[in-house]
């Protein structure tokens, strides 16, 4: 690995090198703190861990709390540990971890949820920090980098996130130079967006286009400390494929072949966006064995299976916000073959990776997994039962609303403690809506694929019940839909029939009896 001195090419900054423990003095209760990172990749580790150790050692739980702003989730050894030590007051805009989710749902952590592309720009506008100090500022930014150039350009590591926006409103900056892994220098394409009315278009016409520079500009006078880090990213654990996810992937790949034959997709498809999880892995894994070549990816997160797609010779180029590989084998595999992959991947800031403009221009095919969707194609990605936050909206809405094809995939049913198909993922009415019926084109489960383009709501409902519902729930959903249609149409209010005294009966039955299989629709 390179030495710290070789990574810091602006030599005047070497005098600011300190230990992580020496930075603790700068942090005060109630501060606004911004981190680099996007998913468990490219986030600071040495300083957050040192702060957590300090709180734990000195029994400061609940006495040293921060408002934490990061591009998305980061490693559990940092933010989730902070949550366990009651170090987080507010958290935007997306998180993962048992302790932080518990803190949010118990009301100890105030989390806000936002489309990620909008979070990036609104952070720079000072919207999230306007009430703390009246200036819309972040008190301290902690940024992980691979290197610092002679003119104080920051070469980031495995993600871009919202570093540009954080630095633009940060009073003070702490840099972590990660010498514990190979440098990512040269992989990034950085553009610092101007505020309206001076914002310029993002002239990206293919996934491989570069429109910026490899470095994030940084004011050296704001840097108060530089810390050497040797911690590697914990990464996103690889999610194994199962029979259900492989069935969903097969339905999607068949659909792609059909669309190519119909002339609605080119032979190499269009730039792909894929979410995270077992279904996403199965889709990408299927593509790695499928008939489509010269593929491109324009997405926000690259998982392990994207390396399979590269190795298959089918993927030409990938644009992302984050290289979100698993701690093992993902990152080691990447580092062992870094020269093979480096020129085929570009990492972009969140404000560009998820911007509606290039997504719509490129004609992306967006594929994401919700908690559930209803018979009219409203999807819930965030709140179980309409109230319990899981992780957050993420960037799925950025892509789904602007994609050429908007696809959501889910198992048709999930198990409970007492019933192997106790939860249906197709419901009469979603208790929380993140993606409306206006945003989605195709819904997929292992049961089948519903192509909803051009259908009115009642036709959509019948197609979703026919194609996507689990056999255990198909007659139950059909009975509800027939009843709602009859009642609402008779009253002349039947464009999208719902019975509000019954539409959440499945969810209520789950809470009371451990299954969504209602005996009847009586009230």
Could you give the CA distance from residue 258 to residue 260 in angstroms, rounded to a whole number?
5
Could you give the CA distance from residue 476 to residue 484 in angstroms, rounded to a whole number?
12
Q: Residue 430's closest CA among 447, 410, 407, 446?
A: 410
Could you give the CA distance from residue 247 to residue 411 in angstroms, rounded to a whole number?
9
Could you give the CA distance from residue 76 to residue 27 in angstroms, rounded to a whole number?
21
The single residue of 165, 176, 228, 300 carrying the catalytic annotation is 300
DSSP sequence for 329-349: THHHHHHHTHHHHHTTEEE--
Burial class (CB in 10 A: 0-12, 13-18, 19+), 195: exposed
Q: Residue 286's closest CA among 254, 333, 330, 322?
A: 254
Question: Residue 53: enclosing H or E segment and its boundaries?
Answer: helix 46-57
DSSP sequence for 263-304: TSS-TT-S-EEE-SSHHHHHHHHHHHTSS--SEEEE-SEE-H
- Residue 300: active-site member: yes
**Bridge partner list, 213:** 190
Question: How many residues belong to the chain?
Answer: 523
Annotated catalytic residues are: 300
């Amino acid at each position: 690995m390179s030495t710290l001195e070789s990574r810091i090419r602006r030599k005047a900054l070497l005098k600011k090198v300190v230990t992580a423990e020496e930075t603790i003095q700068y942090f005060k209760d109630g501060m606004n703190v911004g981190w680099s990172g996007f998913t468990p990749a490219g986030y600071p580790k040495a300083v957050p861990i040192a702060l957590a150790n300090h709180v734990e050692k000195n029994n400061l739980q609940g006495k040293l709390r921060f408002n934490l702003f990061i591009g998305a989730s980061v490693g559990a050894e940092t933010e989730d540990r902070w949550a366990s030590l009651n170090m987080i007051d507010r958290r935007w805009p997306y998180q993962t971890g048992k302790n932080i989710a518990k803190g949010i749902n118990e009301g100890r952590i105030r989390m806000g949820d936002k489309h990620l592309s909008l979070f990036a720009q609104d952070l720079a506008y000072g919207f999230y920090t306007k009430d703390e100090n009246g200036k819309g500022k972040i008190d301290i930014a902690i940024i992980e980098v691979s290197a610092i150039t002679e003119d104080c350009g920051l070469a980031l590591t495995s993600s871009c996130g919202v570093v540009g926006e954080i630095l633009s409103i940060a009073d003070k900056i702490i840099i972590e130079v990660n010498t514990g892994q190979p440098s990512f220098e040269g992989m990034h394409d950085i553009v610092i967006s101007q505020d309206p009315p001076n914002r310029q278009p993002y002239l990206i016409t293919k996934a491989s286009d570069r429109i910026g520079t490899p470095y994030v500009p940084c004011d050296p006078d704001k840097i108060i400390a530089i810390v050497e880090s040797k911690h590697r990213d914990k990464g996103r654990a690889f999610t194994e494929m199962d029979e259900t996810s492989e069935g969903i992937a097969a339905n999607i790949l068949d659909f792609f072949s059909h669309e190519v034959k119909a002339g609605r997709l080119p032979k190499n498809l269009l730039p792909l966006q894929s979410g995270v999880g077992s279904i996403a892995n199965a889709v990408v894994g299927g593509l790695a064995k499928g008939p489509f070549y010269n593929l491109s990816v324009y997405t926000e997160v690259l998982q392990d299976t994207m390396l399979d797609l590269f190795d298959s010779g089918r993927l030409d180029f990938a644009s992302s916000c984050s290289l979100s590989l698993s701690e093992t084998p993902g990152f080691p595999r990447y580092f062992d073959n870094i020269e093979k992959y480096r020129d085929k991947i570009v990492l972009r800031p969140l404000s560009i990776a998820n911007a509606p403009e290039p997504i719509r221009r490129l004609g992306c095919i967006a594929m994401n997994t919700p908690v559930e969707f209803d018979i009219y194609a409203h999807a819930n990605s965030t709140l179980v039962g309409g109230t319990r936050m899981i992780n957050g909206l993420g960037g799925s809405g950025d892509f789904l609303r602007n994609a050429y094809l908007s696809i959501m995939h889910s198992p048709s049913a999930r198990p409970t403690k007492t019933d192997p198909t106790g939860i249906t993922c197709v419901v009469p009415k979603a208790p929380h809506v993140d993606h409306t019926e206006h945003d989605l084109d195709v819904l997929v489960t292992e049961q089948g694929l519903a192509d909803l383009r051009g259908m009115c709501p009642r036709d959509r409902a019948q197609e979703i019940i026919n194609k996507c519902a689990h056999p255990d729930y198909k007659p139950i959903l059909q009975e509800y839909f027939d009843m709602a249609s009859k009642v609402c149409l008779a009253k002349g209010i039947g464009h999208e029939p719902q019975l509000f005294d019954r539409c959440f009966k499945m969810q209520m039955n789950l809470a009371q009896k451990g299954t969504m299989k209602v005996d009847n629709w009586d009230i």
